[in-house]
Amino acid sequence: MARKPKITNQQILEAAREVFLQQGFGGSTVEIAQLAGISEASIFKRFSTKEELFFAAMGLPERSLWMKELENLCGKGNLKENLILVCLQILEFYSEALPRFMMLRSRGSALPEPGIRLEQGPVQDVTVLTSFLEREISLNRLRSANAKIVAQILVGTLMNYVLLEQLPCSQAGLVTEAVRGIDSENPSTAVFSFIQSLVETIWLGVAPI
């Protein structure tokens, strides 16, 4: 008789993430086990408490993808198209990170030590994007401009776009549908149109003369 395939910790965390993002910390471990296709006891053989499972499932995704992309793009190709690509990747990161961060904050004082601070993330993102823009300015691929302000506009707008997803559908409208499940390699028409319009607007002020 063939053995049932072993369920990995990652599969358990994916099931837990789905339940916790929908229901908060009150989500049932029984439901998580059913979704993962294992017994509830199997969960607690790998995660000693529900809280440990929660924090593991809500762990923030790595933010290195788009930053590494910048290193490869600097001084190469069509800069406007590069900015669209990078903005899509930043939006994809925030669409994963912000809902998890908000769920983590809902646990308040229960946050593990050292505390998880996404607040530092956007500051780092602005710094990295500013450096990229400054290098492009030095190569005369952008006109002389305040690179930090441009980076703050881009990062701030992308964060705000994702935050609108957290509003009730009646308030967020199409934005909720546009952001959910974003894939930077295959973005929805609405997401791509938004990013393209954002970059086009910024480009009017920074395009090389």
Asked whether residue 207 carries a pLDDT value surpassing 80, the answer given is yes
User: pLDDT: is 112 or 204 the higher one?
Assistant: 204
Please state the domain count of the chain: 2
Residue 28 lies in a domain: yes
Claim to verify: residue 102 and residue 152 sit in the same structural domain:
yes
CA 10 to chain centre: 18
pLDDT digits 0-9 by tens, 115-150: 445 556 788 899 999 999 999 999 999 999 999 999
pLDDT digits 0-9 by tens, 50-63: 999 998 998 876 66
Claim to verify: residue 198 and residue 103 sit in the same structural domain:
yes
According to the model, what pLDDT value does residue 147 have? 96
Claim to verify: residue 116 and residue 141 sit in the same structural domain:
yes
Claim to verify: residue 114 and residue 195 sit in the same structural domain:
yes
Claim to verify: residue 22 and residue 70 sit in the same structural domain:
no
User: pLDDT: is 170 or 4 the higher one?
Assistant: 4
Domain that holds residue 48: 9-57
Claim to verify: residue 96 and residue 194 sit in the same structural domain:
yes
Claim to verify: residue 73 and residue 154 sit in the same structural domain:
yes
**Whether the Cβ atoms of residue 21 and residue 96 lie closer than 8 Å to each other:** no
Claim to verify: residue 49 and residue 31 sit in the same structural domain:
yes
Claim to verify: residue 161 and residue 138 sit in the same structural domain:
yes
Claim to verify: residue 30 and residue 82 sit in the same structural domain:
no
Instruction: Calculate the average pLDDT of the chain.
Output: 83
According to the model, what pLDDT value does residue 118 have? 52
R_g (Cα) of the chain, nearest Å: 20
Claim to verify: residue 14 and residue 99 sit in the same structural domain:
no
Asked whether residue 98 carries a pLDDT value surpassing 80, the answer given is yes
**Whether the Cβ atoms of residue 134 and residue 128 lie closer than 8 Å to each other:** no
